[in-house]
A and B are shown apart, each in its own frame.
Chain A
Amino acid sequence: GAGVSQSPSNKVTEKGKDVELRCDPISGHTALYWYRQSLGQGLEFLIYFQGNSAPDKSGLPSDRFSAERTGGSVSTLTIQRTQQEDSAVYLCASSPGGPNNYGYTFGSGTRLTVV
């Protein structure tokens, strides 16, 4: 597509429920990133995909968080047993990848509220 698309744009869930957040990157972009933006924490890196592989998962806060990418395209971030501290905006970005990779494009984010 023309840009990075994220869905849903807003999600309200009850504490303890599982949620899935979706990211559809720019066509042809091999690299995909998830970030979390919460008050007082700035923009935190969560995970990086190159193709369908995730060579860097170092930012995932706990084992309740997981992500996958299929077909070198769409990615899903899953949060199990949500907690109130998971409330944040989850941003996805994609880029062409490779050594001359300067073109990071961000989606509009999913605002997650855990009540």
Chain B
Amino acid sequence: AQSVTQLGSHVSVSEGALVLLRCNYSSSVPPYLFWYVQYPNQGLQLLLKYTSAATLVKGINGFEAEFKKSETSFHLTKPSAHMSDAAEYFCAVRDDYKLSFGAGTTVTVRA
């Protein structure tokens, strides 16, 4: 079975600062990896996905993630945080036909 681990349940950043959310995967086959964002009282919105093409994946809202096989990582970054980035972020891996999720990281943005 494939799985992901998100390091850090809460991250607090200042507006304009770098956002870095960590995700490590465990997979016996080349993984398909995803980052989703969840705003309060809403469903999950896809930020980006890695499907074995380019290792640097660009997503919506200025986010990007880099697939590093040597580190089994797929960390999410955004160079400059905005107040609207406050949300919960989930890393996920395709496990056969379904998605398996990490525990989530809540991001707060300080003015």
Contact = CB atoms under 8 A, between A and B. Distances in A.
Contacts, number: 45
Mostly helix, strand, loop or mixed at chain A's interface?
strand
Interface string B11-42: 00000000000000000000010101000011
Contacts of B45: 106
A33 B103 contact: no
Mostly helix, strand, loop or mixed at chain B's interface?
strand
> Could you say which interface size class chain B belongs to?
20 to 34
Interface residues of A, number: 22
Contact of B98 (A45, A91, A105): A45
Interface of B: 32, 34, 36, 41-46, 49, 51, 90, 94, 97-104
Closest A-B pairs by Cβ, 10 of them: A108-B43, A106-B44, A43-B101, A106-B43, A42-B103, A102-B51, A109-B43, A107-B43, A48-B98, A45-B98
Interface of A: 4, 6, 31, 33, 42-43, 45, 48, 50, 56, 91, 93, 97, 101-102, 104-109, 111
